[in-house]
Structure 1
Amino acid sequence: MGKSIYSKGAIEEISTRMNGLQADQISLWGSMNPTEMLVHCNLANAAILASSKATQSPSMKQRFYKFIFFHVKKDFPKGARGAKRFDVKGKVDEKTFEEEKSKFLHLLNKFRDLDRKLEAQHPIFGALSHNYWGKFVWKHLDHHLKQFGL
């Protein structure tokens, strides 16, 4: 089923790769600049970390998407549209790059120090277990690091 943010060494690997990101780096695909990507990831990770336990059972469609995403697709799909609340294109001051990078690393480390299991609702996949959230976070961050050649 692939890597997880909870895998041994995963947080260190993401941190090392992230430290290679520069404010003026050009993406290999997509339209976000490095600061926008950081803000996007920070918003998503903060929301995941603050989420409450799912109360709804997933629909058949959500179960199908979940199976494909976690068991068939190796990588996060390029061009996948996230929730509108995480769309920051054109809404970020590029001068905040270092601040956002620091925040990214801080939030990343919170996954290591969790005092509870993540079992929240995902808008496309429905209720996800702690293990699935770990795999989702890994795939999402890996996708954006690869977007910038890291």
Structure 2
Amino acid sequence: MESVFDTQGNQKIVARIEKLTPITLSQWGKMTVSQMMEHCQQPIKVANGTLNLKSNWMSFLFGKMMKKKLLESKPFAHGMPTVKEFRIAHEPDFESTKKELIDLIIAFTNEGHASIKNPKHPFFGEMTMEEWDILQWKHLDHHLKQFGV
């Protein structure tokens, strides 16, 4: 699997984002391209410690099981539920949202594992660097495929 920490893998993700335009349409789901790019920033912000979410009883009961399932080699399924804090209801500015997402992704190669400031995911619990890497890659890949890039 590709890696957000690897320079080449990181550049591949950024190149795919660069192909997006304000009129790129999704192949499934309800988000616009700008909403998707802001949505994709949220899990990165959880990892880098700039977005703090609280754990709840659902994470205690189902977090480890869901983490195991999401870490499997299969791509994420279409229509998976979205955490309410990751839902983007407004229409973000395309260019600034695109730039912020790219900057967040580039930080993975510039800072390496030090970019992950939060060793404990609010839903999945303790996470290794490899697990953070896999989930970040799969989430970005899932949504970029959603928009055909």
Taking structure 1 as the reference length, the TM-score comes to 0.81
Distance (whole Å) between structure 1 residues aligned to residue 45 and residue 63 of structure 2: 23
Q: Which residue of 1 aligns with 2:114?
A: 116
- Change in 2 beyond 3 A, CA 1:62/1:42: closer
Q: Specify every segment of 5 or more residues in structure 1 that has no aligned partner in the other structure, as ranges.
A: 53-57
Deviation of 1:22 after TM superposition, in Å, equals 0.8
- Change in 2 beyond 3 A, CA 1:86/1:60: closer
Deviation of 1:92 after TM superposition, in Å, equals 2.1
Q: Which residue of 1 aligns with 2:99?
A: 102
After TM superposition, list the pairs within 5 Å mapping 1:1-150 onto structure 2.
Answer: 2-50=1-49, 61-71=62-72, 73-89=73-89, 91-93=90-92, 96-114=93-111, 116=114, 118=116, 119-123=119-123, 125-150=124-149
- Change in 2 beyond 3 A, CA 1:133/1:122: farther
Q: Which residue of 2 aligns with 1:55?
A: none
Distance (whole Å) between structure 1 residues aligned to residue 35 and residue 70 of structure 2: 24
Q: Specify every segment of 5 or more residues in structure 2 that has no aligned partner in the other structure, as ranges.
A: 53-58
The secondary structure found in structure 2 opposite 1:50 is coil
Partner deviation per Cα, 1:47-95 (whole Å, 9 max, x = no partner): 221168xxxxx85743332222212x51112111222111013x124xx
The secondary structure found in structure 2 opposite 1:88 is coil
Distance (whole Å) between structure 2 residues aligned to residue 67 and residue 43 of structure 1: 21
Taking structure 2 as the reference length, the TM-score comes to 0.82
Contact kept, 8 Å, 2:28 with 2:146, in 1: the verdict is yes
